[in-house]
Amino acid sequence: MIPAMSPKSEPFLGPLSRGARSGASASLTTILVAFAANLLVAVAKSVAAVVTGSASMLAEAAHSWADTGNEVFLLIAQRRSRRPPDRAHPLGHGREVYVWSLLAALGLFVAGAAVSVTHGVQELLHPVPATDFVVGYVVLAVSFVLEGISFLRSVHQAKPTAKLMERDLIGAVMVTSDPTLRAVFAEDAAALIGLAIAAVGLGAHQLTGSSTPDAVGSILVGVLLAVVATFLIDRNREFLIGEEANPRIRAAAIRALLAEPEVARVTYLRLEFVGPRLVSVIGDVDLTGDDTESNLAVRLRALEAKIDASPAVAGTVLSLSAPDEPSLTE
Protein backbone atom coordinates (compact mmCIF):
# COMPACT_ATOMS: atom_id res chain seq x y z
CA MET A 1 0.00 0.00 0.00
CA ILE A 2 1.20 3.53 -0.77
CA PRO A 3 2.08 5.35 2.46
CA ALA A 4 0.18 8.47 3.43
CA MET A 5 1.82 11.74 2.55
CA SER A 6 3.86 13.32 5.29
CA PRO A 7 2.96 16.88 6.37
CA LYS A 8 6.16 18.21 4.78
CA SER A 9 5.72 16.53 1.39
CA GLU A 10 4.32 18.41 -1.59
CA PRO A 11 0.62 17.54 -2.10
CA PHE A 12 -0.82 16.54 -5.45
CA LEU A 13 -1.20 19.69 -7.58
CA GLY A 14 1.03 21.52 -5.12
CA PRO A 15 0.61 25.15 -6.33
CA LEU A 16 -3.16 24.78 -6.68
CA SER A 17 -3.27 23.16 -3.23
CA ARG A 18 -1.46 26.09 -1.66
CA GLY A 19 -3.92 28.43 -3.32
CA ALA A 20 -6.84 26.36 -2.04
CA ARG A 21 -5.69 26.76 1.55
CA SER A 22 -5.52 30.56 1.49
CA GLY A 23 -8.00 31.41 -1.26
CA ALA A 24 -11.24 31.23 0.73
CA SER A 25 -10.16 33.66 3.45
CA ALA A 26 -8.66 36.03 0.87
CA SER A 27 -11.91 36.03 -1.12
CA LEU A 28 -13.95 36.73 2.02
CA THR A 29 -11.76 39.72 2.86
CA THR A 30 -12.08 41.02 -0.70
CA ILE A 31 -15.88 40.75 -0.57
CA LEU A 32 -16.12 42.49 2.82
CA VAL A 33 -13.93 45.37 1.63
CA ALA A 34 -16.02 45.70 -1.54
CA PHE A 35 -19.29 45.59 0.46
CA ALA A 36 -18.20 48.36 2.83
CA ALA A 37 -16.92 50.54 -0.02
CA ASN A 38 -20.00 50.05 -2.19
CA LEU A 39 -22.42 50.73 0.67
CA LEU A 40 -20.74 54.04 1.53
CA VAL A 41 -20.53 55.00 -2.13
CA ALA A 42 -24.17 54.06 -2.81
CA VAL A 43 -25.42 56.28 0.03
CA ALA A 44 -23.23 59.20 -1.06
CA LYS A 45 -24.25 58.91 -4.71
CA SER A 46 -27.94 58.68 -3.83
CA VAL A 47 -27.74 61.90 -1.82
CA ALA A 48 -25.80 63.60 -4.61
CA ALA A 49 -28.30 62.41 -7.22
CA VAL A 50 -31.17 63.96 -5.25
CA VAL A 51 -29.28 67.21 -4.64
CA THR A 52 -27.93 67.68 -8.17
CA GLY A 53 -30.67 66.07 -10.25
CA SER A 54 -27.96 64.55 -12.47
CA ALA A 55 -29.02 61.59 -14.62
CA SER A 56 -25.55 60.06 -14.74
CA MET A 57 -25.22 60.47 -10.96
CA LEU A 58 -28.49 58.61 -10.49
CA ALA A 59 -27.19 55.89 -12.82
CA GLU A 60 -24.05 55.63 -10.69
CA ALA A 61 -26.17 55.39 -7.54
CA ALA A 62 -28.14 52.52 -9.07
CA HIS A 63 -24.84 50.92 -10.06
CA SER A 64 -23.47 51.12 -6.51
CA TRP A 65 -26.67 49.79 -4.91
CA ALA A 66 -26.58 46.89 -7.37
CA ASP A 67 -22.94 46.20 -6.44
CA THR A 68 -23.80 46.35 -2.73
CA GLY A 69 -26.57 43.82 -3.19
CA ASN A 70 -24.23 41.64 -5.23
CA GLU A 71 -21.74 41.48 -2.38
CA VAL A 72 -24.49 40.00 -0.20
CA PHE A 73 -25.01 37.27 -2.81
CA LEU A 74 -21.25 36.67 -2.91
CA LEU A 75 -21.11 36.38 0.90
CA ILE A 76 -23.88 33.78 0.75
CA ALA A 77 -21.96 32.02 -2.01
CA GLN A 78 -18.83 31.85 0.14
CA ARG A 79 -20.69 30.49 3.15
CA ARG A 80 -22.76 27.84 1.36
CA SER A 81 -20.01 26.60 -0.94
CA ARG A 82 -17.73 25.80 2.01
CA ARG A 83 -20.10 23.26 3.55
CA PRO A 84 -18.44 19.84 3.91
CA PRO A 85 -19.27 16.89 1.61
CA ASP A 86 -22.15 14.61 2.53
CA ARG A 87 -23.74 11.47 1.09
CA ALA A 88 -25.85 13.46 -1.36
CA HIS A 89 -22.91 15.69 -2.36
CA PRO A 90 -19.73 13.58 -2.22
CA LEU A 91 -17.73 16.28 -4.03
CA GLY A 92 -18.90 18.97 -1.64
CA HIS A 93 -20.96 22.08 -2.33
CA GLY A 94 -18.31 24.11 -4.15
CA ARG A 95 -20.39 24.60 -7.31
CA GLU A 96 -23.00 26.50 -5.31
CA VAL A 97 -20.67 29.49 -5.40
CA TYR A 98 -21.32 29.70 -9.15
CA VAL A 99 -25.10 29.66 -8.63
CA TRP A 100 -25.06 32.62 -6.23
CA SER A 101 -22.48 34.46 -8.32
CA LEU A 102 -24.75 33.98 -11.34
CA LEU A 103 -27.64 35.52 -9.37
CA ALA A 104 -25.39 38.43 -8.42
CA ALA A 105 -24.52 39.02 -12.07
CA LEU A 106 -28.21 38.95 -12.99
CA GLY A 107 -28.83 41.52 -10.27
CA LEU A 108 -26.14 43.75 -11.74
CA PHE A 109 -27.80 43.48 -15.14
CA VAL A 110 -31.33 44.25 -13.89
CA ALA A 111 -30.75 46.67 -11.01
CA GLY A 112 -27.74 48.38 -12.54
CA ALA A 113 -27.78 48.26 -16.33
CA ALA A 114 -31.53 48.34 -16.96
CA VAL A 115 -32.19 51.15 -14.47
CA SER A 116 -29.33 53.28 -15.82
CA VAL A 117 -30.34 52.92 -19.47
CA THR A 118 -34.03 53.50 -18.71
CA HIS A 119 -33.35 56.65 -16.72
CA GLY A 120 -30.99 57.95 -19.39
CA VAL A 121 -33.62 57.52 -22.09
CA GLN A 122 -36.22 59.22 -19.89
CA GLU A 123 -33.82 62.11 -19.32
CA LEU A 124 -33.39 62.50 -23.09
CA LEU A 125 -37.15 62.59 -23.58
CA HIS A 126 -37.92 64.78 -20.57
CA PRO A 127 -34.78 66.76 -19.68
CA VAL A 128 -34.37 68.14 -16.17
CA PRO A 129 -31.62 70.70 -15.41
CA ALA A 130 -29.04 69.78 -12.79
CA THR A 131 -27.85 71.99 -9.94
CA ASP A 132 -25.20 72.00 -7.19
CA PHE A 133 -22.53 70.56 -9.43
CA VAL A 134 -19.83 70.91 -6.76
CA VAL A 135 -21.65 68.36 -4.58
CA GLY A 136 -21.61 65.94 -7.48
CA TYR A 137 -17.90 66.38 -8.12
CA VAL A 138 -17.03 65.90 -4.43
CA VAL A 139 -19.08 62.72 -4.22
CA LEU A 140 -17.54 61.37 -7.42
CA ALA A 141 -14.04 62.06 -6.08
CA VAL A 142 -14.74 60.35 -2.75
CA SER A 143 -16.39 57.44 -4.57
CA PHE A 144 -13.34 57.06 -6.79
CA VAL A 145 -11.09 56.77 -3.73
CA LEU A 146 -13.33 54.17 -2.04
CA GLU A 147 -13.83 52.15 -5.21
CA GLY A 148 -10.09 52.36 -5.83
CA ILE A 149 -9.36 50.85 -2.40
CA SER A 150 -11.70 47.95 -3.14
CA PHE A 151 -10.22 47.48 -6.60
CA LEU A 152 -6.66 47.42 -5.25
CA ARG A 153 -7.72 44.75 -2.77
CA SER A 154 -9.02 42.56 -5.61
CA VAL A 155 -5.80 43.20 -7.56
CA HIS A 156 -3.77 42.13 -4.52
CA GLN A 157 -5.72 38.87 -4.36
CA ALA A 158 -5.47 38.29 -8.11
CA LYS A 159 -1.67 38.60 -8.32
CA PRO A 160 -0.87 35.13 -6.87
CA THR A 161 -3.47 33.62 -9.20
CA ALA A 162 -1.85 35.32 -12.20
CA LYS A 163 1.58 34.07 -11.12
CA LEU A 164 0.28 30.51 -10.71
CA MET A 165 -1.36 30.53 -14.14
CA GLU A 166 1.54 32.38 -15.78
CA ARG A 167 -0.89 34.93 -17.19
CA ASP A 168 -1.31 38.68 -17.02
CA LEU A 169 -3.62 40.02 -14.32
CA ILE A 170 -6.71 40.49 -16.50
CA GLY A 171 -6.25 37.13 -18.20
CA ALA A 172 -5.99 35.39 -14.83
CA VAL A 173 -9.16 37.04 -13.54
CA MET A 174 -11.05 36.01 -16.65
CA VAL A 175 -10.19 32.31 -16.30
CA THR A 176 -9.93 31.90 -12.51
CA SER A 177 -12.20 29.33 -10.89
CA ASP A 178 -12.99 31.83 -8.09
CA PRO A 179 -16.12 33.72 -9.24
CA THR A 180 -16.10 36.06 -6.24
CA LEU A 181 -12.68 37.41 -7.16
CA ARG A 182 -13.77 37.81 -10.78
CA ALA A 183 -17.01 39.57 -9.77
CA VAL A 184 -15.38 42.06 -7.40
CA PHE A 185 -12.54 42.81 -9.82
CA ALA A 186 -14.90 43.32 -12.79
CA GLU A 187 -17.46 45.34 -10.82
CA ASP A 188 -14.84 47.64 -9.29
CA ALA A 189 -13.14 48.16 -12.65
CA ALA A 190 -16.55 49.00 -14.17
CA ALA A 191 -17.27 51.31 -11.24
CA LEU A 192 -14.08 53.30 -11.80
CA ILE A 193 -14.83 53.65 -15.51
CA GLY A 194 -18.45 54.54 -14.71
CA LEU A 195 -17.31 57.28 -12.34
CA ALA A 196 -15.18 58.78 -15.11
CA ILE A 197 -18.18 58.68 -17.48
CA ALA A 198 -20.41 60.30 -14.85
CA ALA A 199 -17.86 63.05 -14.23
CA VAL A 200 -17.63 63.84 -17.95
CA GLY A 201 -21.42 63.82 -18.28
CA LEU A 202 -21.87 66.08 -15.26
CA GLY A 203 -19.15 68.46 -16.47
CA ALA A 204 -20.63 68.66 -19.96
CA HIS A 205 -24.04 69.34 -18.44
CA GLN A 206 -22.59 72.23 -16.44
CA LEU A 207 -20.68 73.69 -19.40
CA THR A 208 -23.46 73.43 -21.98
CA GLY A 209 -26.52 73.83 -19.80
CA SER A 210 -28.00 70.83 -21.61
CA SER A 211 -28.91 67.59 -19.85
CA THR A 212 -28.25 65.57 -23.00
CA PRO A 213 -24.58 64.74 -22.18
CA ASP A 214 -25.67 63.72 -18.68
CA ALA A 215 -28.37 61.45 -20.09
CA VAL A 216 -25.95 59.92 -22.57
CA GLY A 217 -23.57 59.31 -19.68
CA SER A 218 -26.31 57.42 -17.84
CA ILE A 219 -26.94 55.26 -20.89
CA LEU A 220 -23.23 54.56 -21.33
CA VAL A 221 -22.94 53.50 -17.68
CA GLY A 222 -25.87 51.14 -18.24
CA VAL A 223 -24.28 49.65 -21.35
CA LEU A 224 -21.00 49.18 -19.48
CA LEU A 225 -22.79 47.33 -16.68
CA ALA A 226 -24.68 45.18 -19.18
CA VAL A 227 -21.41 44.10 -20.82
CA VAL A 228 -19.81 43.26 -17.45
CA ALA A 229 -22.92 41.41 -16.23
CA THR A 230 -23.17 39.39 -19.45
CA PHE A 231 -19.53 38.34 -19.15
CA LEU A 232 -19.97 37.30 -15.50
CA ILE A 233 -23.17 35.38 -16.28
CA ASP A 234 -21.48 33.48 -19.10
CA ARG A 235 -18.41 32.54 -17.04
CA ASN A 236 -20.53 31.23 -14.17
CA ARG A 237 -22.63 29.27 -16.65
CA GLU A 238 -19.49 27.63 -18.04
CA PHE A 239 -18.31 26.55 -14.58
CA LEU A 240 -21.76 25.22 -13.70
CA ILE A 241 -21.89 22.95 -16.75
CA GLY A 242 -18.29 21.81 -16.18
CA GLU A 243 -15.05 23.71 -16.76
CA GLU A 244 -11.90 21.66 -17.18
CA ALA A 245 -8.68 22.80 -15.55
CA ASN A 246 -6.27 24.65 -17.82
CA PRO A 247 -3.55 22.71 -19.69
CA ARG A 248 -0.80 23.82 -17.30
CA ILE A 249 -2.57 22.33 -14.29
CA ARG A 250 -3.38 19.18 -16.26
CA ALA A 251 0.26 18.79 -17.28
CA ALA A 252 1.32 19.19 -13.65
CA ALA A 253 -1.15 16.49 -12.65
CA ILE A 254 0.21 14.08 -15.27
CA ARG A 255 3.76 14.73 -14.05
CA ALA A 256 2.69 14.15 -10.45
CA LEU A 257 1.03 10.85 -11.33
CA LEU A 258 4.00 9.61 -13.37
CA ALA A 259 6.29 10.52 -10.48
CA GLU A 260 4.49 7.98 -8.29
CA PRO A 261 6.44 4.68 -8.05
CA GLU A 262 3.16 2.78 -8.46
CA VAL A 263 2.25 4.40 -11.80
CA ALA A 264 3.75 3.17 -15.06
CA ARG A 265 1.49 5.07 -17.47
CA VAL A 266 -1.39 7.54 -17.54
CA THR A 267 -3.81 7.03 -20.43
CA TYR A 268 -6.72 9.30 -19.49
CA LEU A 269 -7.10 12.29 -17.17
CA ARG A 270 -9.85 14.83 -16.63
CA LEU A 271 -9.61 17.58 -14.01
CA GLU A 272 -12.91 19.41 -13.65
CA PHE A 273 -13.48 22.38 -11.37
CA VAL A 274 -16.16 21.71 -8.76
CA GLY A 275 -15.52 24.90 -6.79
CA PRO A 276 -12.97 27.70 -6.41
CA ARG A 277 -9.48 26.17 -6.74
CA LEU A 278 -11.06 22.73 -6.27
CA VAL A 279 -11.06 19.92 -8.86
CA SER A 280 -12.35 16.40 -9.23
CA VAL A 281 -9.87 13.93 -10.70
CA ILE A 282 -10.92 11.15 -13.08
CA GLY A 283 -8.26 9.08 -14.77
CA ASP A 284 -7.00 5.77 -16.13
CA VAL A 285 -3.57 4.55 -15.02
CA ASP A 286 -1.41 1.52 -15.60
CA LEU A 287 0.16 0.35 -12.34
CA THR A 288 3.65 -1.14 -12.24
CA GLY A 289 4.18 -4.89 -12.04
CA ASP A 290 1.83 -7.74 -12.83
CA ASP A 291 -0.20 -8.06 -9.66
CA THR A 292 -3.38 -9.96 -8.84
CA GLU A 293 -6.74 -8.26 -9.28
CA SER A 294 -7.35 -7.94 -5.54
CA ASN A 295 -3.93 -6.38 -4.91
CA LEU A 296 -4.39 -4.01 -7.85
CA ALA A 297 -7.66 -2.79 -6.36
CA VAL A 298 -5.99 -2.10 -3.01
CA ARG A 299 -3.10 -0.26 -4.67
CA LEU A 300 -5.49 1.78 -6.82
CA ARG A 301 -7.58 2.85 -3.80
CA ALA A 302 -4.42 3.79 -1.91
CA LEU A 303 -3.35 6.00 -4.83
CA GLU A 304 -6.78 7.65 -4.86
CA ALA A 305 -6.52 8.32 -1.14
CA LYS A 306 -3.11 9.91 -1.61
CA ILE A 307 -4.45 12.24 -4.30
CA ASP A 308 -7.54 13.04 -2.20
CA ALA A 309 -5.24 14.27 0.58
CA SER A 310 -4.56 17.39 -1.51
CA PRO A 311 -6.65 20.44 -0.46
CA ALA A 312 -7.18 21.13 -4.16
CA VAL A 313 -8.89 17.78 -4.83
CA ALA A 314 -12.56 17.17 -4.02
CA GLY A 315 -12.56 13.53 -5.10
CA THR A 316 -10.63 11.03 -7.18
CA VAL A 317 -11.80 8.11 -9.32
CA LEU A 318 -9.09 6.03 -11.00
CA SER A 319 -9.47 3.02 -13.26
CA LEU A 320 -6.95 0.64 -14.78
CA SER A 321 -5.78 1.34 -18.32
CA ALA A 322 -6.29 -1.14 -21.12
CA PRO A 323 -3.00 -2.42 -22.64
CA ASP A 324 -3.73 -0.90 -26.06
CA GLU A 325 -4.56 2.60 -24.80
CA PRO A 326 -1.97 5.22 -25.74
CA SER A 327 -0.02 6.91 -22.97
CA LEU A 328 -0.55 10.59 -22.18
CA THR A 329 2.30 13.05 -22.22
CA GLU A 330 2.32 16.53 -20.81
Q: What are phi and psi of 322, to 5 degrees?
A: -80, 150
Q: Tell me, what's the pLDDT at 7?
A: 40
Q: How far apart are CA 204 and CA 213, in angstroms?
A: 6
The enclosing domain of 235 has a CATH number of 1.20.1510.10
Global pTM reads 0.82
281 burial class (0-12, 13-18, 19+ CB within 10 angstroms)?
buried
Strands of the sheet containing 263-275, edge to edge, are: 263-275, 278-287, 313-320
Residue 326 placed within a domain: no
Q: What is the model's pLDDT at position 8? A: 44
Using alpha carbons, select from 192, 176, 185 the residue that is nearest to residue 236.
176
- 279: domain CATH number is 3.30.70.1350
**Going by C-beta distance under 8 Å and a sequence separation of 6 or more, which residues neighbour residue 273?**
177, 239, 242, 243, 244, 245, 279
Contact 239, 97 (CB under 8 A): no
104 and 188 assigned to the same domain: yes
What pLDDT digit, counting tens, does each position of 169-219 carry?
Answer: 999 899 889 998 899 899 889 989 988 998 998 899 888 888 888 889 889
> Do both 233 and 254 map to the same domain?
no
The boundaries of the domain holding residue 202 are 14-242
Q: Is the alpha carbon torsion for 202, 203, 208, 209 positive or negative?
A: positive
- Tell which of 210, 242, 274 closes a domain: 242
Q: Inter-axis angle of helices 55-81 and 115-125, to 10 degrees? A: 170
Q: Tell me, what DSSP letter sits at residue 278?
A: E
pLDDT value at position 22? 53
Asked if residue 1 belongs to a domain, the reply is: no
Where the chain has pLDDT below 70, the residues are 1-25, 330
Judgement on whether residues 270 and 151 belong to the same structural domain of the protein: no
Q: Write down which residue in 242, 265, 300 finishes a domain.
A: 242
| Whether residues 282 and 165 fall in one domain | no
Question: Does residue 91 share a domain with residue 34?
Answer: yes
- The whole-number pLDDT of residue 316 equals 93
Residue 326's H or E segment, with its range, is none
Tell me what pLDDT residue 196 has.
92
pLDDT tens digit sequence for 267-292? 999 999 999 889 999 999 999 988 88
